[in-house]
Amino acid sequence: MPPDLGPEDFDELQRLPITNRDQSCAFCGGDRPRFVHPLARDRIAFRVFGKGWTLPTFWTVCDQCEASIEGGNDAKLRSRMTDRGTDEELAQASLTAFRAADLGPSTLIDAVE
Ligand SMILES: [Zn+2]
């Protein structure tokens, strides 16, 4: 279990967060993401620049980025990633891999301090 998270925050069996405590949006880095997208384990590996990469087994996503995922607005998602310093080619490859592996969103419980 990630540090500082209790059993009410993280499902050990599924390896998925239940609440948004200590999570941030995988695209823009925003706090308190509202959704979690589990990814198909057999589809999270991809190659960029001849190097192998592996995505996390889930991505947490904020409201705004979720709307871009649903709306198919990959340009906006890519620009949010590159704004945070992710290399353009890596952002594109990650996004393509995410799209292929995405098992669909579930809602996270808002962690109240
Ligand atoms: Zn976001």
Each domain of the chain, given as residue ranges in start order, spans 10-107
Tell me the pLDDT tens digit for each residue of 59-110: 999 999 999 999 999 999 999 999 999 999 999 999 999 999 999 999 999 9
Report how far ligand 1's centroid is from the alpha carbon of 25 (Å): 5
CB contact set of 26 (below 8 Å; sequence gap of 6+): 33, 56, 59, 60, 61, 65
Q: What is the pTM of this model?
A: 0.91
Tell me how far the alpha carbon of residue 85 lies from the centroid of ligand 1, in angstroms: 15
CA of 28 relative to ligand 1 center, distance in Å = 4
Using CA atoms, how far apart are residues 68 and 84, in angstroms rounded to an integer?
A: 17
Residue 1 CA to residue 112 CA, distance in Å, equals 19
- Under the banding of pLDDT at 50, 70 and 90, the label for residue 113 is low
Residue 54 near residue 44, CB atoms below 8 Å = yes
Residue-wise pLDDT for 24-42, tens only, equals: 999 999 999 999 999 999 9
- How far apart are the C-alpha atoms of 77 and 24, rounded to whole Å? 15
Q: How far is the CA of 23 from the centre of ligand 1 (A)?
A: 11
